[in-house]
Amino acid sequence: MLEIKNLHARIAEDGTEILRGIDLKVNAGEIHAIMGPNGSGKSTLSYILAGKEDYEVTEGEIIFHGENLLDMEADERAVAGVFLAFQYPIEIPGVATMEFLKTALNAQRKAKGKAELSIPDFMKLVKEKAGDLNVTMDMLKRPLNVGFSGGEKKRAEILQMSLLEPSLCVLDETDSGLDIDALRIVSEGVNKLRSPERAMVVITHYQRLLDHIIPDVVHVLSKGKIVKTGGKELALELEKNGYADFIEAA
Amino acid sequence: MNMSIPINHTQAETEILSRFDAIKSGLVGSEAVSTLREEALEEIKTKGLPHKRVEEYKYSDLRAYMKSAAAIAGEADPDAVASVLNDAGNFGALERYRVVVANGRFVPEVSDVDGLAAEGVDLGDFNDLLACENGVDLLGSPKSAGSDATIALNTAFVQGGVVITVREGVDVSKPIELVHVATEQGAQVARNRIAVSKGAKLKVLETFAGDAGNGEINVVFDYDVADEALLSVTRLIVGQSAGARLFTSLARIGEKAEFKTLGFMAGPAFARNQQFVAFEGEHSEAKLFGVTMARDTALADHTLIVDHAVPNCNSREFFKTVLDDRAKGVYQGRINVAQHAQKSDGEMMTQALLLGEDAEMANKPELEIFADDVLCAHGATSGQIDEDLLFYLRARGIPEAEARTLLVLAFLSEAIEEFGEEDVTEELETRVRNWLAA
């Protein structure tokens, strides 16, 4: 589904090189965890997948469902099936969460040539999905992410993911800022979305998220390169020994 | 009289002077009114139209903008008024009374006021009262307005308008739409007085329809908000015609009263909405909002003076402006707090979103405080659309143009929502969307 080949990227503004040759292949149905220390390029990779314009790809390519992802605008990628769950979901004052969800869902439906959902159908769908994630009507009426707690923001991200039904979910440090209960709710929400047609790339610092969302493959990213790939046991090994071994190897 | 150097009149000024001479014998009013009109014109003759070296008009050079002065529009034919109104469709199906002033004169035939008198609201023709013995009192202006040229032009040329009086304790069941209609090109000069008596409540929707061409539209609204009364005013300054739009609010607020207003500007090439608000009784509140959109080379000016002449009053000003292309926005907000007006609470905020690189916003908040126990604050921001917000929306599949619309709407909606008149929220937001789509 997703194939990243020799991806090099830098910050557009100052030319700082962040990614130095990433190769990654993710098949439908798989969950890949990407772990690594701060500054290794994990978030940059997620932003580049989603189409943020602050980065410049200098070499390599990203093929998604057979198409060149780098040729697409951010909104086109979303329609094609890429979803980034943000590490720091953005607060948007003045845009009610419900209104935003409806606009996003209908924009994607329109781009795919489908009819827009009627308001009753949309409300029914949102209520069903929101209930599972403990997202209240009160939250949905509030401006998007404004005044949400860390846990509420992450739950709202997963709600968006379950409504938009992407084929590739990129979760950027979704566990950061979550207490144990919130982590469980969010993880359950993510696990519910596991399917043979859907792939996930889970970016995290810590192994604890991977106790809840069990990965098929674990990669270690250091200094902009994947330095080790293994099974889920690799995460446990990292938790025990830290990243030091790999940082030196890189 | 001060010594002043005679000025070289511009074409527009010359036309204004000669047009006054041509019509002055037919103007309504007692002798005192005629004298006042003459004096007002003398102001224009001596000082000319206001220009950038007049502090209050520093950013809105009317003298440079008005290349010529159109003749005063003639009396409107009621059928023509009705047809303009049908085309305009302001506020759609909203339940309301409608009072029509066309080409500057009250047109009762096309007004829809069935039941208004029975509710306890008196409606009269401004001219009828102007002709009365005390008619000249209708043309007063507050000290804070000084010898404002817009008001002077209005006084000299005013053709008519309405006087609406809500009797004591009456809570008017639905809003009154006060619509000014142009049925032909030419200057439209009107003045309206709205008095809300003690304990009464009224909502007014001020709208405009028709094309006055190059003719300027100059309307003064004189509001009297008595003790414990409430007056809410939504003013739409819309439409494309090229003539200057000059609106003045003069508000006097009694004790434990509330005055709130939202000025919505989108479309005119040169628009100025000036408001002079004075507290005359304690424990009252004034909330002034602005929602402004301008593009091309348009100028959109909100100028306000709030006078805390008595203690214990609150004023809040919240203005939002979106500018594209080479448009220019102006916010001049002054809060005066008199020496004995302790416990005054004044707050003003003006925020601008610049969509075009050549757009320009002039923010000038001013505080003149002579009391020592007051809370006064002001803030001003100008910025562009936040790229991170835009990316977040696009990352959810919302196309760029739609994402921008959503963000601009969100920006302006903050003021619309805080104004809190739910009857008009949808109409205003639709107008924002239409402006963005144009």
Are residues B173 and B148 both part of a single domain? yes
Binning chain A into helix, strand and coil, the percentages to the nearest 5 are 40, 30, 30
Are residues B357 and B414 both part of a single domain? no
Are residues B109 and B195 both part of a single domain? yes
Which residue, chain included where needed, has tokens 């003021």?
A: B415
Q: Does B406 touch chain A (CB under 8 A)?
A: yes
Residue B40 belongs to a domain: no
Residues 56-95 of B with CB under 8 A from A: none
Cβ-based contacts of B411 with chain A (< 8 Å): 94
Q: What is the pLDDT of residue A250?
A: 46
Residue B3 belongs to a domain: no
CB contact (8 A) between residue A53 and residue B403: no
CB contact (8 A) between residue B389 and residue A92: yes
pTM, entire model? 0.88
User: Six-digit token pair at B367?
Assistant: 């505080």
Are residues B137 and B253 both part of a single domain? yes
Q: Most B CBs within 10 Å: which of A92, A97, A158, A171, as the mutation test of the B interface?
A: A92
Q: Which residue of B387, B399, B410 is in closest CB contact with A95?
A: B410
Residue B32 belongs to a domain: no
Longest dimension (CA), chain A: 57
Q: In angstroms, rounded to a whole number, what is the distance separating the alpha carbons of residues B315 and B317?
A: 7
Chain A: give the shortest CA distance to residue B138, in Å: 42
Q: In angstroms, rounded to a whole number, what is the distance separating the alpha carbons of residues A44 and A138?
A: 33
Q: Which helix (H) or strand (E) holds A138?
A: helix A137-141
pLDDT in tens, A164-200: 999 999 999 888 888 888 888 888 888 999 999 999 9
Own/partner pairs for A130-137, CB < 8 Å, 24+ apart?
A130/A159, A132/A162, A132/A188, A132/A189, A132/A192, A133/A158, A133/A159, A133/A162, A133/A185, A133/A186, A133/A189, A134/A185, A135/A159
Crossing angle between the packed helical segments B400-419 and A97-111, to the nearest 10 degrees: 160
Nearest Cα to B317, choosing from B249, B255, B397, B246?
B249
Cβ-based contacts of B388 with chain A (< 8 Å): 90
Q: Does A94 touch chain B (CB under 8 A)?
A: yes
Count of domains observed in chain B: 2
User: Six-digit token pair at B309?
Assistant: 């002449």
Are residues B252 and B381 both part of a single domain? yes
Q: What is the pLDDT of residue B41?
A: 95
Are residues B216 and B274 both part of a single domain? yes
Are residues B234 and B166 both part of a single domain? yes
Given a cut of 50, the residues of chain A with pLDDT beneath it are 250
Are residues B399 and B269 both part of a single domain? no
pLDDT in tens, A30-41: 999 999 888 889
Domains and CATH numbers, chain A: 31-40+74-249 (3.40.50.300)
Q: Which residue of B388, B396, B400 is in closest CB contact with A164?
A: B396
Nearest Cα residue in chain A from B401 = A75
Where helices occur in B315-421 by DSSP H, the ranges are 387-394, 400-419
Are residues B198 and B264 both part of a single domain? yes
Q: Does B401 touch chain A (CB under 8 A)?
A: no
Q: Does A93 touch chain B (CB under 8 A)?
A: yes
Q: Does B53 touch chain A (CB under 8 A)?
A: no
Residue B1 belongs to a domain: no
Residue B127 belongs to a domain: yes
Given B352, B367, B385, the domain boundary residue is: B385
Are residues B392 and B380 both part of a single domain? no
CB contact (8 A) between residue B387 and residue A78: no
Q: B302-317: string of b/e by CB count within 10 Å (b at 16+)?
A: bbbbbbbbbbbbbbbb
Are residues B260 and B142 both part of a single domain? yes
User: Six-digit token pair at B371?
Assistant: 């009391």
Residue B62 belongs to a domain: no
Q: Rounded to the nearest 5°, which phi and psi values hold at A246?
A: -80, -35
User: Six-digit token pair at B310?
Assistant: 């008595």
Residue B422 belongs to a domain: yes
Residues B213, B186: contact at Cβ < 8 Å?
yes
Are residues B314 and B291 both part of a single domain? yes
Q: Does B402 touch chain A (CB under 8 A)?
A: yes
DSSP reduced 3-state for B180: strand
Q: What is the mean pLDDT of chain A?
A: 90
Q: Does A84 touch chain B (CB under 8 A)?
A: yes
Strand residue runs (E) in B28-142 = 97-102, 105-106, 121-125
Where helices occur in B247-341 by DSSP H, the ranges are none
Q: What is the mean pLDDT of chain B?
A: 94
Q: What is the pLDDT of residue A244?
A: 76
**DSSP 8-state secondary structure symbol assigned to residue A90:** P
Given B385, B403, B421, the domain boundary residue is: B385
Residues A102, B402: contact at Cβ < 8 Å?
no
Q: Residue B127: which domain range?
A: 74-385
Given a cut of 50, the residues of chain B with pLDDT beneath it are 1
Residue B41 belongs to a domain: no
CB contact (8 A) between residue A100 and residue B406: yes
Given B340, B365, B385, the domain boundary residue is: B385
Chain B: give the shortest CA distance to residue A15, in Å: 19
Compute the half-sphere exposure of residue B3: CA atoms within 13 Å on the CB side of its CA.
Answer: 0
